[in-house]
Chain A
Amino acid sequence: KQEVTQIPAALSVPEGENLVLNCSFTDSAIYNLQWFRQDPGKGLTSLLLIQSSQREQTSGRLNASLDKSSGRSTLYIAASQPGDSATYLCAVIFLTGRRALTFGSGTRLQVQP
């Protein structure tokens, strides 16, 4: 079964700290991988998309990397701020099967002022 796993489930850090969120997936044959942010009671906001042929993507203080061979992606957040507090979700479209996202369960991040 194709699955996506995120560790840790929750993380609390002081403001200003650099942090890494982890995502792993069971099948290296992927179409792309997306990182999303979700604020409480809201929908999902797309942060970064990494295509299968890419190794990383950057947007501002966010950097996402992809290592297909090991089935891993990381989301790096530099100089964290209280406004970064949210749940971060990793999702993958696998090449075999349907072209729909399979989601991890998310990492709930709390950045303390």
Chain B
Amino acid sequence: DVKVTQSSRYLVKRTGEKVFLECVQDMDHENMFWYRQDPGLGLRLIYFSYDVKMKEKGDIPEGYSVSREKKERFSLILESASTNQTSMYLCASSPSPGQGADQPQHFGDGTRLSIL
């Protein structure tokens, strides 16, 4: 079974802090994704990565950055946390088309982040 592990289920930080959210997958997937989920707005893509050291902006990248130094790990960074970044953050991974076009995207359990 694919396992996508997010480092924290709940996190409370202060405005202006630099925040790191970590995600690790154990299936050698090429693709990794970060989403945020908010009531009434659904899931929105923040950043994604097709390979090590590669990153692509999603729909709402402002205020965030990412790091992918190793294939299994994809980190989301809030450079200077603000209250409007309070949300549920979800990490996901999937194989590339060459690895299997019929393979679903797998999600972690999410991190509920509160910025005070």
Binding site for B on A (CB under 8 A): 31-32, 34, 36, 41-46, 49, 51, 89, 91, 98-101, 103-106
Contacts and interface: CB of A to CB of B under 8 A. Distances in A.
Contacts, number: 53
B50 to A, nearest CB: 8
B105 interface: yes
A43 B90 contact: yes
A51 B101 contact: yes
B102 A43 contact: no
Contact of A100 (B40, B48, B103, B107): B48
Given A41-B110, A98-B48, A101-B105, 9 more contacts: A32-B102, A42-B110, A43-B4, A43-B107, A44-B90, A46-B106, A49-B103, A89-B43, A101-B33
Contacts of A98: 48, 56, 58
A49 B104 CA distance: 6
Given A32-B101, A51-B101, A44 B107 contact: yes
A113 to B, nearest CB: 26
A100 B33 contact: yes
Interface string B99-116: 001111111111010000
Interface string B67-81: 000000000000000
A105 B90 contact: no
B31 interface: yes
Contacts of A45: 107
A46 B110 contact: no
A100 B58 contact: yes
A100 B45 contact: yes
